[in-house]
């Protein structure tokens, strides 16, 4: 399997972000370790200062030692005796704390987990110094995680922006292609219209000529649909039942003889806001999609159900079905299982239903060698 299928610009961005985070974590970890060593040295110097007070020879020496032990006020410390009674605290804010003794007890337990306490030996007993980490060191340890969150947010914004830009470009390409197709179809359709007029004059009651005229009208409708892509269609309330029945009848005459296309409705009148020409296009696309899923034989059922607030239209076939891992991709632009397909039919159908009719279209269910059901959901009038 080609590795390029898995490595695209999104994976490249994620890989770069991971490399940045790993490098940042490594560098910050090294920096935090060095800072922690320096802070331990400061606490050790503080302990030596306290021990030196007891042996200070004169006032000048006592002043010097006192200056050393009071110089650093960034590292939180708690000093206790052998019985655990607190003798002194440094760089710990207890303002607003209701139960200060319990608060300090919790701090001692917290500091024990972070650093091994320093013991000062006096003739009357031992003194213990419990200490934590400075505010700067704590921020330094959490910095990579904040950086990771920022990079993740940046990646999300970039991916959304690029995806939106790509969709916009795709839409412009589709609109341009559709309008050019409508333009190219115009000339041959006009010529065919002329020939059809001559046939009607010579064979006014011929059934084949009548059916050929239906196909020419269908071509004109297709050209009109392509020409309207990109324009906002005008919606109007219509009864969907006769419209779908007519579409089923039209497709049945053009389907293989061993394919039966049927229509069912739970009510004779089911109304919804639609744009008739492009809505028919969606139904035709779905029926043709079902025909392609068969090997010249099978059944297709177009079923419409009138519910309380919604209208459900199901196109059910007993074709080859869709593999589960492909169901989420069938509406993606360019996705097709046909050798010569463009992969635009279902994508355009989704655009027509969602954007113009404010409904939804999805694969309700599908099983291999059993068939598929596509569902359209519209708001009820």
Name the residue range of residue 329's domain. 233-379
54 within some domain: yes
- Among residues 110, 132, 154, the one where a domain terminates is 132
Give the C-alpha separation, 5 to 203, whole Å: 58
Query: Is 47 a member of any domain?
Result: yes
> For residue 314, what pLDDT is reported?
97
Is 211 part of a structural domain of the chain?
Answer: no
Residue 223 lies in a domain: no
- Average pLDDT (211-222) is 83
Give yes or no for a contact between 125 and 81, defined as CB atoms under 8 angstroms apart: yes
Domain finish residue from 111, 132, 153:
132
Query: What's the pLDDT tens digit per position in 33-69?
Result: 888 888 888 888 777 777 666 555 555 555 555 565 5
Beta-carbon contacts of 310 under 8 Å, excluding residues fewer than 6 positions away, are: 377, 378, 379, 380
CATH number at residue 299: 3.30.565.10
Q: In terms of DSSP H, where are the helices of the chain? A: 9-53, 59-71, 100-114, 135-202, 207-228, 240-253, 276-292, 345-351
Q: How do beta strands 86-90 and 236-239 pair?
A: unpaired
User: Residue 81 above 90 pLDDT?
Assistant: no
Structural domain total, the chain:
2
pLDDT greater than 90 at residue 213: no
Domain boundary among 80, 99, 132: 132
User: What strands, in cross-sheet order, belong to the sheet with 125-131?
Assistant: 86-90, 77-81, 125-131, 118-122
Instruction: Kindly report, residue by residue over 271-297, the tens digit of the pLDDT.
Output: 999 998 889 989 999 999 999 888 889
Whether residue 212 is contained in a domain is answered as no
Vertex 271, ends 249 and 375: CA angle to 5°? 65
Per-residue pLDDT tens over the stretch 306-364 = 998 999 999 999 999 998 888 888 888 766 766 655 567 888 889 889 988 999 999 99
For the chain, the average pLDDT equals: 83
Do residue 237 and residue 373 come from a single domain? yes
Q: Are residues 246 and 120 in the same domain?
A: no
How much is the pLDDT for 58? 56
Q: What is the pLDDT of residue 72?
A: 62
Average pLDDT value for residue range 110-118: 89
């Amino acid at each position: 399997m080609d590795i390029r299928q898995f490595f695209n610009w999104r994976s490249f961005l994620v890989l770069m972000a991971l490399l940045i985070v790993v490098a940042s974590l490594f560098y910050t970890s090294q920096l935090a370790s060095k800072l922690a060593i320096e802070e331990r040295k400061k606490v050790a110097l503080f302990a030596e200062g306290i021990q030196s007070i007891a042996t200070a020879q004169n006032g000048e020496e006592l002043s010097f030692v006192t200056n050393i032990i009071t110089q650093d006020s960034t590292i939180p410390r708690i000093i206790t005796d052998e019985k655990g009674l607190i003798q002194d605290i440094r760089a710990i804010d207890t303002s607003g704390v209701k139960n200060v003794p319990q608060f300090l007890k919790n701090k001692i337990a917290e500091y024990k987990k972070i650093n091994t306490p320093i013991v000062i030996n006096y003739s009357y007993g031992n003194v213990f110094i419990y200490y934590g980490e400075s505010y700067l060191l704590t921020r330094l340890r959490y910095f990579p995680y904040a950086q990771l969150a920022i990079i993740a947010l940046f990646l999300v914004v970039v991916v959304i922006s690029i995806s939106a830009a790509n969709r916009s470009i795709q839409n412009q390409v589709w609109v341009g292609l559709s309008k050019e197709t409508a333009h190219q179809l115009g000339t041959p359709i006009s010529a065919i219209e002329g020939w059809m007029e001559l046939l009607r004059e010579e064979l006014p009651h011929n059934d084949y000529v009548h059916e050929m005229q239906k196909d020419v009208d269908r071509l004109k409708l297709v050209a009109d649909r392509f020409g309207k892509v990109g324009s906002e269609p005008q919606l109007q309330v219509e009864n969907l039942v006769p419209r779908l029945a007519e579409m089923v009848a039209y497709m049945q005459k053009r389907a293989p003889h061993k394919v039966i296309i049927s229509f069912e409705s739970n009510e004779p009148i089911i109304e919804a806001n639609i744009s008739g020409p492009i809505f028919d296009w969606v139904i035709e696309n779905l029926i043709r999609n079902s025909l392609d899923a068969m090997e010249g034989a099978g059944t297709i059922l177009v079923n419409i159900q009138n519910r309380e607030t919604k209208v459900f239209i199901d196109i059910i076939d007993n074709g080859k079905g869709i593999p589960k891992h492909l169901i989420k991709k069938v509406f993606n632009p360019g996705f097709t299982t046909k050798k010569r397909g463009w992969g635009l039919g279902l994508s355009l159908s989704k655009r027509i239903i969602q954007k113009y009719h404010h409904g939804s279209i999805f694969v309700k269910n599908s099983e291999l060698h059993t068939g598929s059901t596509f569902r359209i959901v519209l708001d009820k009038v």
